[in-house]
Amino acid sequence: MSNDVLVPAPPTLPTHKPIRLIDETGRAVTGTQTAGFRMPDTDTLLSLYRRMVLARRFEAQVTALTRQGRLATYPSALGQEACEIASVAALAQQDWLFPTYRDTIALLTRGVSPVEILSFFRGDWHTGFDPHAHRISPQSTPLATQALHAVGLATAAKLKQDDTVALTFLGDGSTSEGDAHEAFNFASVWQAPVVFVIQNNQYAISVPYSKQSRARTLADRAIGYGMPGYYVDGNDVAAMYAVVTAAVERARAGHGPTLIEGLTYRMEAHTNSDDPTRYRETSETAGWLDHDPIDRVEKHLDRAGALTTAVRASIAAEAEALATATRDAMNETPVLDPLEVFDHVYSAARPALLEQRAFLANELAHTDTREAGAA
């Protein structure tokens, strides 16, 4: 009996060491560790650096707002800027992003406003932005479910012959979910134009990677699904951009999915309700300061003479303006309409939902009347 081979040439295992193009001193890497990927041009690196600086300042401001009680919770991505921003920068306007709850700076980089983003974390809306306008799905809190959604959209795009690629983020912990397996398998079987970016920040809340998987790398799994896998230094924005760009181009050309693991580190707590000192040593976190993604590309741009004093000052001023605008917006108390919860459930009104809406409207009216009488 013949065994139809879906992949003409089986993919090989990822490189033993993570792919990198810029080392911690800012020098360009040469040799086998580049895996043949080329350094992005200086203008691209400068744009990526600017986006990372803005994102880090935004994160610092949002974390402060959380501690002041302005937001219910916030999962910081401090230290993971290279993974998120390089991946988003590799997408074209017509492509779709399927993020997790930690990928706020990816949304910011793709053009969603701070108010629209943070209304989710303040509890005002489940999703404060228009997914179709930005081509970004709602931030997923359940683990790995968004990967299946990405495969579904990408498959539909392929059937419609749309020039669309879907990129989805997963954490290392979410790759232990059955949904991740289903997404990887069906994307490969259907040759869907999907790019899976696993941000291996080495902790699934408090569980270290060593207690989740015995695989050498998470990218090793790709070969089992019959798709290419790349193991990348997730704190090297140049390497992440080069590898993700190649994967997006491959998907758009009709050659199917790619799985990319970015090795990075979550510098802050899982959320503000978490105490990381209970499961990791402070010295471990301090050691990762030497691998900071912004510091690395900044040194590289300095060496290239591209980061002048004027450019640095302009970016810093832009970052402060973003932080100020975010702070001012979150200090305003929003005016919310409880009946809006019914408005975006279905595209066409359903009788049962209309009945529930009318019931709540009546309850609210009576509450207002009672409060007015008591006053």
CATH code, 254: 3.40.50.970
Do 138 and 230 fall into the same domain?
A: yes
Q: Is residue 294 part of a domain?
A: yes
Amino acid 375: pLDDT: 64
Residue 75 has pLDDT above 50, yes or no: yes
Summary mean pLDDT of the chain:
92
Domain that holds residue 278: 32-331
In a domain, 113, yes or no: yes
Residue 6 placed within a domain: no
- Mean pLDDT value of segment 232-237: 98
Least confident window among 118-127, 187-196, 288-297: 118-127
- Residue of 27, 67, 279, 370 marked catalytic: 279
- Paired sense of beta strands 96-98 and 166-171, if any: parallel
Q: Do 134 and 185 sit in the same domain of this protein?
A: yes
Q: Domain count for the chain, please give it.
A: 2
Catalytic residue among 51, 102, 110, 266: 266
Instruction: Name residue 260's beta-bridge partners.
Output: 197, 230
15 domain-assigned: no
- Whether 346 and 316 map to the same domain: the answer is no
- pLDDT value at residue 69: 87
Are 284 and 368 members of one domain?
no
Average pLDDT (71-97) is: 96
Alpha carbon separation from 218 to 32, 150, 151, 168, 188 (Å, rounded)? 20, 19, 19, 15, 16
- The pLDDT assigned to 10 comes to 54
Instruction: Report pLDDT for 4.
Output: 46
Say whether 57 is catalytic: no
Q: Are residues 39 and 159 in the same domain?
A: yes
Specify the residue for token string 């080329």: 38
Q: What mean pLDDT comes out for the span 31-41?
A: 95
By percentage, how much of the chain surpasses pLDDT 90? 81
Whether 308 and 344 map to the same domain: the answer is no
Mean pLDDT, range 334-346, rounded to an integer: 86
Of 20, 110, 270, 291, the active-site residue reads 270
The span from the CA of 323 to the CA of 149, in Å, is 32
How confident is the model over 132-185, as pLDDT tens digits?
Answer: 999 999 998 899 999 999 999 999 999 999 999 999 999 999 999 999 999 999
- What is the reported pLDDT for 258? 97
In the residue annotation, 266 being an active-site residue is answered as: yes
Q: Do 145 and 173 form a contact (C-beta atoms < 8 A)?
A: no
Q: How confident is the model at residue 3 (pLDDT cuts 50, 70, 90)?
A: very low
Q: Average the pLDDT over 124-129 and give the result.
A: 86
Q: What is the pLDDT of residue 2?
A: 44
Concerning whether 270 is annotated as a catalytic residue, the answer is yes
Q: Give exposure, 295-322, as e/b (b: 16+ Cβ within 10 Å).
A: ebbbbbbeeeeebeeeebeebeeebeeb
Query: In the prediction, which pLDDT does 1 show?
Result: 44
